[in-house]
Amino acid sequence: MIVRESVALAPLTTLGVGGPARYFVEARDEAAVPEALEWARRRQLRFYVLGGGSNLVVADEGIDGLVVGIALRGVSTREGHGGIELTAAAGEPWDALVRLTVERGWAGLECLSGIPGLVGATPIQNVGAYGQDVGETVTAVRALDTADARVVTLANRECGFAYRDSAFKSREPGRHVVLAVTYRLRPGGAPTVRYADVERDLATRGVREPSLADVRASVLAIRRAKSMVLDDPADENRRSCGSFFVNPVVTAATCAEVEARALDPAMPRWPEPDGRVKLSAAWLIERAGFRRGQGDGPVSLSSRHALALVAHDGARARDVLAFARRLQAAVEARFGVPLAPEPTFWGI
């Protein structure tokens, strides 16, 4: 295990802001993770885990602790329970894994195309988009339990999956370090088409019976049009965390109040199975008086999507937070709805 000192974290995140880690270790095998944990504990240091950095805001002052960069690789598959069980190490790039499943005709992840980051983050965030989330397909999460330094395997029901949430994120944040994730996929299964944007793109291309590849192509096109595919160095919106706020889920009564305040019966909403209603955070931001591309100094809304905050040259973490708080205050004042941030914050 090689421990480096004063390692810049900003280049390791898609937002590109924040200070250095006091200590940094790259974990290329599972044994390095508990070893790093023990190293940090002996020195009474805080222990942080870094994946792809696509959903992370680091404080300008940096991190006074040990940051472990997850670089575990490997993919394996086996047949079981009427499907394919695919296990991927936490450091595998997520979109490459989705592309693999689509190419092999395994349904279950196709709508999650184009999402940046690594496999290890997917169960933590219960990553989802365009009508799918990983909580539908995850069967097991292999993780290091930092409470007693044991490697455990957690079944789906133990993960506490909810909308953009999990037990890893909100019940006991930081307790588990994801090492590998197993997904159950459907060989030859039909693609998921539940989202209006995907339906429209398929219709525009004249695709009536879409394949997994068709749905992946539509999702990638939609995300690219919103600057949500972060692999284009020429895209002025590339330095972002993607969606900075989660879509709020409110009671039916609150939804009616928001509609009354908005004076717009066409306000977008999506009924949830529990009787609540999901609202569009992007729509609320724009109706609260903000336009795409608008910003404060070196931080702005994306010019293509009102839910992404973009850090331009010279931006600092404190600038991102100040602008985010301004958006939250405006939406709450206009509609009475609090917006919850989606990224993880370090040192803030």
The residues that are catalytic are: 164, 243, 342
Nearest of 163, 165, 144 to residue 154 by alpha carbon: 144
Q: Which helix (H) or strand (E) holds 150?
A: strand 150-155
Measured CA to CA in angstroms, residue 163 lies from 13, 32, 56, 98 at distances of 24, 32, 19, 20
Q: Which residues of 142-162 are buried (b: 16+ CB within 10 A; e: fewer)?
A: bbbebeeeeeeebebeebbbe
Decide: residue 348, CB within 10 A, 0-12 exposed, 13-18 middle, 19+ buried. middle
CA distance 202 to 217: 9
Query: Left (φ > 0), alpha (ψ -120 to 50) or beta: where does 41 sit?
Result: alpha
Name the token pair of 127: 């990553």
Decide: residue 78, CB within 10 A, 0-12 exposed, 13-18 middle, 19+ buried. exposed
Q: Could you write out the DSSP letters of every residue in 289-348?
A: T--TT-EETTEEE-SS-TTEEEE-TT--HHHHHHHHHHHHHHHHHHHS-PPPB-SEEE--
Q: Which three-class secondary structure state does DSSP give residue 161?
A: coil
Q: Which DSSP category does 104 fall into?
A: T
CA 226 to chain centre: 16
